[in-house]
Amino acid sequence: MAEKLEETQASIAEIETLYRERYPRFLRVAVATLGDVERARDAVHEAFVRAIKSRGDFRGDGSLESWVWRTLVNVCLADLRHQPLPLPALEATAQAGQNDDWPELRAAIGELPERQRLTLFLRHYADLDYDSIGVALGVARGTVAASLHAARSQLRKVLGEVTT
Amino acid sequence: MTDYLSAAVDGLVPEFAEEQGDWPAVVRDAGVRQLAAAGKNHRSEVSGGGTHRRTRRRRVVVPAIVAAAIALPLVAVAASQSWWFFRFEGSPTPITDVKVVKSGTWSGQDWRLVAYLSSTDGICFGITPAGSEAEGRGAGMSCAAIEGVPRTSESKPYTPLAITFGSGSSERFPTYIVGPVIVVATEVVIHLADGTVVRTPTFDAPDELGRIRFYATPLPDVPRTMERPPLTQIRKIVGFDRGGEVVACLTVPMPEGGVTVEACR
């Protein structure tokens, strides 16, 4: 019976471990997506609250981390629907103290289709592999690859235009 | 991604390497209380009918507090003549004696349902195995504001519930559910996620605890996996009066803003 207790508590403990080890990455992606640090902190908070509440729904189809990433993506998208991000995207992050050496790049990212933009963020800021991104966005691995390729191509084009 | 493009994208958003978040706030807002047990690597999470004070930093209207509950962990502390839960920092201050509401036996283990009124958190209640009054081994405790429980000048501004619950599973007991309910409820029906329905009669509480009744019952053994803990199997708890009318309703998880009896009709 002692094992029952361990099983009962393990999921929250795992979510806690994920939170403590990956918080900066979750926050970074949320900031990139929402363009506002405070909204991003709220989104990460809300995502983990939801993860705890709905932990019984986790089926183990992918990793727990991917599942939480998906929750965060959903929270961010819901937030954006409620309060759309003004273009160019990421404007607020520049205001938050980052160097804004690439205003054209910011604008280009902001103009990417939503899936491409999220794929880019999850690959670059969260360092997720294609499979995990697929789980997080609810798309196939091939779609992840195609979205990332399209995003990179578009951004390279913009950077090329800027730097030549 | 090329290094050039990678560096450019990387420079757009800070890394936030020093940010650690606020895990206790996450746990609190999720409506669970997660505490490490003394001397062991055990944790206790409790009670979907529990406290949910939403304290996010979002600049929007903060929903009203819908419930109040705290939970204390399964513990193994040094022997004491006092009740185990008073050994924990944060236990609400009692304004009554600890009352034994009911005694029983589950899986061959005698237990006692004990409760007391607190100065701040309504009624505190929980199951303690017989003989563990001091050490608290296998015990659990929750507190909640319930209709019929007297308020004090220090009571937190929680909206009283018509019913709430504490639930646990340990080496001493099967998964069980216990809680107070408004005094007119004579039967409580618990709906589990797999469709199982458990009916249990309510029973009297000492007058000092207010105009309430209690219920307590073990739950059927349910398949458990790492990600499907037994406590999450509870979906709805309904209190019925003598005439079969719904008088108390709690859905799990509780929606923001609370739940009305219509949700259980």
* Secondary-structure percent of chain B, ordered helix, strand, coil, rounded to 5: 10, 30, 55
What single-letter amino acid sits at B88?
F
Q: Do A59 and B227 touch (CB under 8 A)?
A: yes
- Provide, as residue numbers in chain B, all residues whose Cβ is less than 8 Å from the Cβ of A90: 12-13
Q: Where are the domains of chain B?
A: 22-55+62-264
- B171 pLDDT band, cuts 50/70/90, is low
Determine contact: A89 vs chain B, CB below 8 A. Answer: no
Q: What is the mean pLDDT of residues A5-27?
A: 74
Q: Which domains does chain A carry?
A: 2-163 (1.20.140.160)
Mutate: best of A6, A8, A41, A63, partner B, most B CBs <10 A: A8
pLDDT score recorded for residue A85: 54
HSE value, Cβ hemisphere, 13 Å, CA-based, for B230? 24
Mutate: best of B1, B10, B15, B16, partner A, most A CBs <10 A: B16
- Provide, as residue numbers in chain A, all residues whose Cβ is less than 8 Å from the Cβ of B15: 24, 28
pLDDT score recorded for residue B253: 67
> Please, what sign has the CA dihedral across residues B2, B9, B14, A31?
negative
- A34 pLDDT band, cuts 50/70/90, is confident
Whether the CB-CB separation of A104 and A41 falls below 8 Å is answered with: no
* Secondary-structure percent of chain A, ordered helix, strand, coil, rounded to 5: 80, 0, 20
Q: Do A7 and B12 touch (CB under 8 A)?
A: no
Nearest to B251 by CA among B160, B164, B178, B183: B164
Mutate: best of A4, A119, A155, partner B, most B CBs <10 A: A4
- Distance in angstroms (rounded) separating the CA atoms of residues A12 and B148: 34
For chain A, positions 62-81, list CB contacts with chain B under 8 A.
64
Q: What is the mean pLDDT of residues B76-90?
A: 57
Quick: pLDDT tens for A35-74. Answer: 888 889 999 999 999 998 888 778 777 788 999 999 999 9
Determine contact: A143 vs chain B, CB below 8 A. Answer: no
Determine contact: B42 vs chain A, CB below 8 A. Answer: yes
- Provide, as residue numbers in chain B, all residues whose Cβ is less than 8 Å from the Cβ of A52: 26-27, 30, 32
**Which residues lie closer than 8 Å to B222 by C-beta, 6 or more apart?**
B175, B192, B194, B196, B230, B233
- Distance in angstroms (rounded) separating the CA atoms of residues A115 and A98: 25
Predicted-complex ipTM score = 0.83
Rounded to the nearest integer, the mean pLDDT of chain A is 78
